[in-house]
Amino acid sequence: MAAHDILTSPHPTLRDRATKVKAFTSKLDQLIEDMIETMRASSGVGLAAPQIGVNQRVIVVEYAEESEDPEATPKPPKLYVVVNPEIVRHSKEMVSGNEACLSLPGYFGEVDRYETVTVKGLNRKGKPTKVKATGWLARIFQHEIDHIQGMLYIDRANQVWRIEEDEEEDSPTMV
């Protein structure tokens, strides 16, 4: 496994539509492992293959829903690997929230996203998988799927601003 450098805007690869994965090989498995390591090393909660310069429709997401009870033991994060992901259903409700991105360091913005999405694709072994996500997890999936379509959150943002050094601690999780 190896962590990769993350491409930053305006790198042209970030604007390309990624190609569909057709073969599940050891090379793909290595890509997935490298993506997971890169995401974790960068303190991200999601990563798309184009962010490390690979023009394939692969995303990884790792997130733990926060408990409503502050006394509860935190849930461990769940790892999702989705190859050729697509949103097949979404709520009518849109929610505004702040997003940041590993490919746009130092910035965050306010973006409207669907409250709930259903994502279909293939797992790392090529078997069909389906994820119904709500809230922040739904936002992460939409953000990563945008990446494989050549979009950045700034394309959807109502406003974007630079993070000041004293805001770093309060900034949203990087996706």
pLDDT above 50 for 169 = no
**Residue 80 to residues 13, 51, 76, 140, 164: CA-CA distances in angstroms?**
23, 17, 13, 11, 32
> Distance (Å, rounded) from C-alpha 117 to C-alpha 132?
6
CATH of domain 12-170: 3.90.45.10
Residue 72 pLDDT grade (very low, low, confident, very high; cuts 50, 70, 90): confident
Q: Could you report the per-residue pLDDT of 80-134, keeping only the tens digit for each?
A: 999 999 999 999 999 999 999 999 999 999 999 999 999 999 999 999 999 999 9
- Lowest mean pLDDT of 9-13, 66-70, 102-106, 151-155, name the range: 66-70
pLDDT above 60 for 167 = no
**pTM for the complete prediction?**
0.91
> So what's the pLDDT on residue 165?
62
Of all residues in the chain, the percent with pLDDT exceeding 90 is 83
> So what's the pLDDT on residue 65?
79
pLDDT above 90 for 40 = yes
pLDDT above 80 for 67 = no
For residues 51 and 166, which has the higher predicted lDDT (pLDDT)? 51
CB atoms within 10 A of CB 43: 9
169 belongs to the catalytic site: no
Active-site residue, selected from the candidate residues 33, 37, 99, 144: 144
